[in-house]
Structure 1
Amino acid sequence: MKTALRLLRLGLIGAFATFIIGVIGTGATYLYIAPQLPPIESLKEVRLQVPLRVFTRDGGLIAEFGEKRRSPLALSEIPRPMINAFLAAEDDRFFQHPGVDYHGIVRAALQLIATGEKRQGGSTITMQVARNFFLSSEKTFLRKIKEIFLALKIERELSKEEILELYLNKIYLGSRAYGVGAAAQVYYGVKTGDLSLAQVAMIAGLPKAPSRYNPIADPERATQRRNYVLGRMRSLGHISEEEYQHASNQIDDARSHGLVVEASAAYVAEMVRAEMVARYGEDAYVSGYRVITTLDPVEQKAAVSALRESLLEYDRRQGYRGAERKLTWEGESNEAGWDQILNETPVLGELVPAIVVGVEGKSASVYLGNRTYAELGWSGIEWAHPKAGRRAKDDATLSAAEVLSPGDVIRLQRTGDTWVLASIPEVEGALIAIAPRDGAITALVGGFDFARSKFNRAVQAERQPGSSLKPFIYSAALAEGYTAASIFNDAPVVVDDPALETTWRPENYSGRFYGPTRLREALVNSRNLVSIRVLQSIGVGPAIRHLQKFGLPVDRLPRDLSLALGSATVTPLELATAYTVFANGGYKIEPFFIQRIEDMDGNPLFEADPPIVCEECEARRAATDSQAPQPLPPSAAPEAAAEADQPRLAPRVLDAQNAYLMYTMMRDVIRRGTGRRALALGRSDIAGKTGTTNDQHDAWFSGFNAHRVAIAWVGYDNVRSLGERETGSRAALPIWIRFMERALANTPEAVLEQPPGLISARIDAETGLLARANAPNAVFELFSEGQLPERAPETVTTTQHSDTPQRTPQREVSEQLF
């Protein structure tokens, strides 16, 4: 008995000593570890690594930049079944324990004793938060001890709900998805609220081993893990037996879902990315910035479609270049091998890769991948035949075998319900649209497909504008006192300029000469020789100073007469910006593409404040400036403050009369000149100018109304001819027409308003002088006040061809003539 009592006493003493040593050891460990623990306050202001997102002006997603896919959600936005699934899978006692589940730790310790191996075990959700935010994932005793102390510290300073929200947004769930919001999109293409119970359980099973249980990489193992989670939910009472049976029997449909991009604008997205990195450095990729651009989704879609359709149309005119690749054909089906080849051939410009597997008569069988075949009929092949257009469509001697062979890797374009043979165009192009009253870029396409070439031709390609530059030369002539009725001789010009190192003999595109020509008619018909004489008469220096007002790059404007034919180099953006001066009545705006920048929570960090065209504001300001300042009573102070908060006004750089005259001249370009194809739009408010450079290296169309300016360009990156007759009217204008047809649909006509100070008068079409009452060839022309020409004589003799431009003789008038 005494022995038993002695042993009991020794046992109690030993236990107490062990307890004291444990407490001392724990305290000592805490004192050693505590200084190394990070402050929990940082968790309250934690900034999850959320990618940069770019949107259209109405909130449609354009692009996302950043390595981690994350869509942060408030706990209230996460469905209860999702929360229950994670608790069942990871920590069913989360709301009971203080951050450390001692039962789990005991299990891990027993496993260590039994196996001698260190394995992760007993990790609660709070401990996972501690590890994911502050610690590494290495499996050491020291890290585990830090994790325990840090979890206890987190539990003291954050609520359970705050911890759970951090966890569900931070946890890595495979396939670059961080948090449940991103996982729902990546695996199932939906928001968390739209997930089924089976899908919820699948995602909840991922934290244990995201790679091993990935439903895309290993569906069988992932399904086993999903069913385990469902079983845990059933045993905990979160779901019924019936729900368990239904969910566990479902076939999982997880697959990789890309971003749901609502606007195809990769070139603009890259412009935004570069700008954001310039502003915020590498933080731009992880701070959750939201950039709202100025892009109009309807116009952007129209721009992409118009450019691609027109470049493909041009490419077909050049003839079929053959298969993209030729495979060794053995005549046997090899779908696995074909799939690999097609998977390595990306879709470009919506042109789908396919393999020809059979040719018979006037049709071909093609393989599209994933065990899908299609029939390519003669209507989709005929254009590529060497004799297309020269032989009857029903000529039985023509066959598909003269175009295609089995083993050809080709491209197909979907048109309605049929496929059409296509090729990736070698030619490139660009289109940009700008709102002329504030400079907002509403559409921009920098090439056929960003995936093929990231070079943004809309803002980076410096190309010769050709005749697209002539309106600025003619505007300079108006500024120097010439009128739209001034006569210039369309006759041969020989320029012996040392700067050109040779004698220059420019010609009109037609090769013909037209004699004395009014300025308006010269622009309407794009007469090169008249343009040179205009520049000769006003001088290269004054012309360059005038062009500078439009924002054209002075350092790229040649100081010789070739400037008259557009030998300068400009980007489509620069040319579009210059044309806005004509479209808005004479004001210089600043183009911009970022409307607003917000932080992750939607708080504004930047708001565009461009100078705008506002005639009413300008008039009010002028009226205010003309009045002597008067002292304001105290009650007027708020109004004064409101007036001080006026919008920034774009400066006037061209007088309103000049801008309007140029608008009417370019409107005639479309009505009866080189831009007549645009009449297909059925609008009377549009104006523009074609542009073609020497040997058809570049084709342009620059057009506008008061609502929108759009510039289309076509050319090869490695400068070469577009081909015979591939002018601005044929190669570029169709892009502009297709775009404007959709961009201006259901939009009322926006004709520029005629400013005061202009007079309409009947003139003789040949001489430019005021016409007499019985003149048979009289036309109406607009003149600035004080610039009306003299009356034509009773009998007009044959006009002498002179190289000296004839300023229309003017006389003063006090009334408007008709």
Structure 2
Amino acid sequence: MAKRGSRRAAAETQRRRQTSGRRGQERTGWRLWLRRAVLWGGALALLGALFLGLAVAFAARSLPSYGALKATQPGQTIVVRARDGTAIVELGPSPGKWLDSEQIPEVMKDAMISVEDRRYFSHPGVDPIGLARAVYVWVTGERRLQATSTITQQLARNLFLNSNRSLDRKLREGILALALEAKFSKQQILELYLNKVYFGGGAYGIDSASRKFFSHDATELSTAEAAIIAGLVKAPSRFSPTADVDAAVDRANVVLGLMREQGRISASEAAVDPSAVKLKKDVSQNSVRYFTDWALPQLEILLPETFEPIEVWTTLDVGMQQAAATAIKGNVPRGAQGALVSLDRDGAVLAMVGGTDYVATNYNRATDALRQPGSAWKLFVFLAALEAGYTPEDRVKDVPVTIDGWSPRNSGGSYAGEIDVRTAFAYSKNTVAAQLGNEVGFGTVASMARRFGITTPISTYPAMVLGSSETRVIDMTRAFAAVSAGGNSVEPYGIVKVTTTAGDVLYQHEGRNPTRLVPDYVAAGMTDLLQTAVSTGTGRAGQISRPVAGKTGTTSSNKDGWFLGFSSGITTGVWMGRDDAKAVPGLQGGTAPARAFAAYMRYAVKDRPVEEFQTDLQLPEWQLEPDDEYYYGGDPDEYYYVDESGNLVEPQRPGPGQSPQDPFPADGEQPPAYPAPRQPQYPDESGQAASDDFLDRATGARPSPAPVPAPSPRTRTLTPPPQPQQTAAPRPF
């Protein structure tokens, strides 16, 4: 028994030793991998630190001297000249007096450090705490990775790099920041920064900003003024006190709060009111800036890369620009905005107004805003109809109609019955426009708008004929200018040439050969309609005591008002409305926009000779006969007719071996082909397949007109009178 007990004890001891050995081996393996990770990590960190140290040392050796950095220019100077050569805007750097570190007010330094880099005096150029916080926020998924740049990093970017948001640029920015800190003192870096940072409006450095915004140099900055300037760095355009005083004051209060929180100012100093600061009135930010904001970005395409000072000679007429700004401001309804574009016959932009006040809002409504054009869109509907064979004298019917469930109505709900095309356009009859669009095809109308320069999306639903598709003022003006040019394309442009200050030409505008958009007789017919709309129709307020052609446009609930027209080679488009697209009481194209158009055009054309419009229709031979005879010849037997049972019978067609009558001229000129229109719905027709007018002709109840050598009025019975229905649609003029 004793032996068995001793054997059991020995076996248990052996088992415990084996278990302990396995656990020791496991602990030894885990510790081994941990030890390896620490060693490899340390080696990689050491290697990275060595590489970073070498890169920083090399960058520090390559940096210019402090004096050279002080002398660097902040950017390119651009002088913009009007068409007569007068300077209208000077853009680019406007550096003030250089202030040494001891001349810069401490409150200015404190304000900048508080809002841009609170740990400026404790980090080596890159803020590891800020970087770690940004990585943590990114890892937790709250927002994308974005590390706040230190003052030194911002200076490195402004001096040596661009603003591209790439990892490579960020790494180089960090290395250069470390190099700057290694080569220069904190006070030197802060001095460079405060004298070179951009504050908007061409102001580089705190002295330039102080003179621009407060009319005194930076040595006299108060706490509130310093807070306003420091707040501009984040977004100079958005927080500029000359553009948005409220935004600048709100931002300044944020800066004051940070200064108080960090103990840089007392509670009483933090309580100052930035809104009480007296701002310098900026007279340079006038309506001309709408034009320069549109034209100058084109230099990136027109010019090779250059950093030397340049002069940009433009098409802008100073007098016309002032007249345009006055016309818009003097006629726009209260609470609304206005825009105007005026083009010369070759497309040169003579005037451009993008709003009532550039300082209040620099949003360019002439080139950027998308608004419904209302009945001004009928330009394309009637162009398509004229190209399809209509003439201004042709008879149409202004009656209720329903197309694909949509029933347009005229302003006031009245209908004139049978009228001619000219009258229908002059009084902006919605029912006639809808019928014409249905006949030629809504896709054809959209194609016509594209042909005339409309670049925005275009609907092909029936209501599109009343201007439901949004477009830009400059595009609509361009389309009307093409009609004024006899149906030839017009390309708006604003830059004539670009030169160096020494006079060397870097760019010269060369006009393109115009493209024929529609035949000249179509443009003549359209001019006839547009002239009538101003002389007797909805655009009478646009008259200027000389021939004028134009069209009004008003959208539903008076949200948009338009007037576009031309006279003596100048085409002008005017729009008015609210930015939030709310209704403007009393706004119609024939009221305030038409009055603004007339006020501007009286000045614009005063030195130009009076020009009569070309409205004589020199039609091609295929259009000189009435439509029925054009398609089927002069033999009554070739018309459709109704048999004794009331069935519609097609005319006899040429059989095999027979030669069909050729209605086209010998030179092979063919009329344009158009898709079959959608058929209107007529609930009261009881299945009648053709109109009474057509059947009267076909059955001989009324004789068909004989061919004539010149255009004659024709009745186009587009729609038999259905029962009126009413659905929501854009208003007419």
Q: What is the TM-score normalised by the length of structure 2?
A: 0.51
1:678-705 per-position Cα deviation (integer Å, ceiling 9, x unaligned): 23x211x211011111222211101102
Is 1:757 matched up with 2:618? Answer: yes
Structure 1 gaps of 5+ residues are 1-34, 72-132, 135-139, 144-169, 190-202, 218-254, 316-424, 498-502, 612-648, 760-784, 787-799
Is 1:61 matched up with 2:87? Answer: yes
3-state secondary structure, aligned to 2:411: coil
> Per the alignment, do residues 747 and 492 of structure 1 end up closer, same or farther by CA in structure 2, a change over 3 Å counting?
same
Contact 2:325 2:353 survives alignment (8 Å): yes
Higher mean alpha-carbon deviation, 564-573 vs 518-527, is at 564-573
Is 1:566 matched up with 2:592? Answer: no
Is 1:479 matched up with 2:500? Answer: no
1:318-369 per-position Cα deviation (integer Å, ceiling 9, x unaligned): xxxxxxxxxxxxxxxxxxxxxxxxxxxxxxxxxxxxxxxxxxxxxxxxxxxx
| Residue type at the aligned position of 2:288 | A
Equivalent in the alignment of 1:700: 562
Contact 1:432 1:444 survives alignment (8 Å): yes
Residue of structure 2 aligned with 1:462, choices 367, 370, 387: 370
Contact 2:495 2:509 survives alignment (8 Å): yes
Equivalent in the alignment of 2:408: 506
3-state secondary structure, aligned to 2:433: helix
Is 1:593 matched up with 2:494? Answer: yes
Is 1:651 matched up with 2:672? Answer: no
Equivalent in the alignment of 2:178: none
User: How far has the Cα of 1:589 moved from its partner?
Assistant: 1.6
| Residue type at the aligned position of 1:717 | D
- Give the distance between the partners of 1:567 and 1:751, measured in 2 at CA: 33
User: How far has the Cα of 1:454 moved from its partner?
Assistant: 2.3
Contact 1:596 1:608 survives alignment (8 Å): yes
User: How far has the Cα of 1:441 moved from its partner?
Assistant: 1.0
- Give the distance between the partners of 1:47 and 1:438, measured in 2 at CA: 39
Residue of structure 2 aligned with 1:605, choices 506, 512, 518: 506
Structure that is richer in strand per residue: 1
Equivalent in the alignment of 2:539: 675
Residue of structure 2 aligned with 1:430, choices 339, 344, 353: 339
Equivalent in the alignment of 2:430: 528
| Residue type at the aligned position of 2:535 | R
User: How far has the Cα of 1:815 moved from its partner?
Assistant: 11
- Give the distance between the partners of 2:93 and 2:503, measured in 1 at CA: 21
- Give the distance between the partners of 2:292 and 2:317, measured in 1 at CA: 14
User: How far has the Cα of 1:48 moved from its partner?
Assistant: 8.2
Equivalent in the alignment of 2:709: 813
- Give the distance between the partners of 1:816 and 1:489, measured in 2 at CA: 17
1:619-662 per-position Cα deviation (integer Å, ceiling 9, x unaligned): xxxxxxxxxxxxxxxxxxxxxxxxxxxxxx21111111111121
1:242-289 per-position Cα deviation (integer Å, ceiling 9, x unaligned): xxxxxxxxxxxxx999887497312112223433467779x88x6423
Is 1:744 matched up with 2:605? Answer: yes
Residue of structure 1 aligned with 2:353, choices 445, 458, 461: 445
- Give the distance between the partners of 1:472 and 1:542, measured in 2 at CA: 9
Is 1:295 matched up with 2:316? Answer: yes
3-state secondary structure, aligned to 1:576: helix
- Give the distance between the partners of 2:583 and 2:63, measured in 1 at CA: 69
1:228-247 mapped onto 2 (5 Å cutoff): none
Contact 2:285 2:359 survives alignment (8 Å): no
Contact 2:567 2:605 survives alignment (8 Å): no
1:367-378 mapped onto 2 (5 Å cutoff): none
Higher mean alpha-carbon deviation, 587-596 vs 515-524, is at 587-596
Equivalent in the alignment of 1:331: none
Equivalent in the alignment of 2:118: none
> Per the alignment, do residues 658 and 213 of structure 1 end up closer, same or farther by CA in structure 2, a change over 3 Å counting?
closer
Q: Which runs of 4+ in 1 moved over 3 A?
A: 35-39, 45-50, 175-179, 210-214, 255-264, 272-281, 752-756, 800-810, 814-817
1:270-281 mapped onto 2 (5 Å cutoff): 270-276=293-299
Higher mean alpha-carbon deviation, 510-519 vs 449-458, is at 449-458
1:81-480 mapped onto 2 (5 Å cutoff): 211=219, 261=284, 264-276=287-299, 287-311=308-332, 314-315=333-334, 425=335, 427-435=336-344, 437-480=345-388
> Per the alignment, do residues 526 and 287 of structure 1 end up closer, same or farther by CA in structure 2, a change over 3 Å counting?
same
Equivalent in the alignment of 2:57: none
| Residue type at the aligned position of 1:581 | A
Contact 1:50 1:68 survives alignment (8 Å): no
User: How far has the Cα of 1:543 moved from its partner?
Assistant: 2.5
Contact 2:81 2:311 survives alignment (8 Å): yes
Contact 1:263 1:297 survives alignment (8 Å): no
User: How far has the Cα of 1:50 moved from its partner?
Assistant: 4.7
> Per the alignment, do residues 57 and 69 of structure 1 end up closer, same or farther by CA in structure 2, a change over 3 Å counting?
farther
3-state secondary structure, aligned to 2:351: strand
| Residue type at the aligned position of 2:472 | T
3-state secondary structure, aligned to 1:299: helix
| Residue type at the aligned position of 1:297 | V
User: How far has the Cα of 1:590 moved from its partner?
Assistant: 1.1
1:680-691 mapped onto 2 (5 Å cutoff): 681-683=544-546, 685-691=547-553
> Per the alignment, do residues 585 and 601 of structure 1 end up closer, same or farther by CA in structure 2, a change over 3 Å counting?
same
> Per the alignment, do residues 543 and 177 of structure 1 end up closer, same or farther by CA in structure 2, a change over 3 Å counting?
closer
User: How far has the Cα of 1:523 moved from its partner?
Assistant: 0.5
> Per the alignment, do residues 291 and 259 of structure 1 end up closer, same or farther by CA in structure 2, a change over 3 Å counting?
farther
Equivalent in the alignment of 2:478: 577
> Per the alignment, do residues 803 and 716 of structure 1 end up closer, same or farther by CA in structure 2, a change over 3 Å counting?
farther
Contact 1:667 1:688 survives alignment (8 Å): yes
User: How far has the Cα of 1:53 moved from its partner?
Assistant: 2.8
| Residue type at the aligned position of 1:582 | V
Is 1:731 matched up with 2:633? Answer: no
3-state secondary structure, aligned to 1:547: helix
- Give the distance between the partners of 1:455 and 1:292, measured in 2 at CA: 23
| Residue type at the aligned position of 2:541 | R
User: How far has the Cα of 1:810 moved from its partner?
Assistant: 6.6
3-state secondary structure, aligned to 1:729: coil
Contact 1:475 1:662 survives alignment (8 Å): yes
3-state secondary structure, aligned to 1:458: coil
Contact 1:700 1:732 survives alignment (8 Å): yes
Equivalent in the alignment of 1:166: none
> Per the alignment, do residues 259 and 492 of structure 1 end up closer, same or farther by CA in structure 2, a change over 3 Å counting?
closer
Percent identity for Structure 1 against Structure 2: 27
> Per the alignment, do residues 56 and 65 of structure 1 end up closer, same or farther by CA in structure 2, a change over 3 Å counting?
same
| Residue type at the aligned position of 1:60 | T
| Residue type at the aligned position of 2:364 | N
| Residue type at the aligned position of 2:709 | V
3-state secondary structure, aligned to 2:340: strand
| Residue type at the aligned position of 1:462 | L
User: How far has the Cα of 1:609 moved from its partner?
Assistant: 1.4
- Give the distance between the partners of 2:400 and 2:434, measured in 1 at CA: 10
> Per the alignment, do residues 57 and 805 of structure 1 end up closer, same or farther by CA in structure 2, a change over 3 Å counting?
farther
- Give the distance between the partners of 2:577 and 2:694, measured in 1 at CA: 35
> Per the alignment, do residues 651 and 805 of structure 1 end up closer, same or farther by CA in structure 2, a change over 3 Å counting?
farther
> Per the alignment, do residues 590 and 525 of structure 1 end up closer, same or farther by CA in structure 2, a change over 3 Å counting?
same
- Give the distance between the partners of 1:711 and 1:176, measured in 2 at CA: 32
> Per the alignment, do residues 492 and 582 of structure 1 end up closer, same or farther by CA in structure 2, a change over 3 Å counting?
same
3-state secondary structure, aligned to 1:699: strand
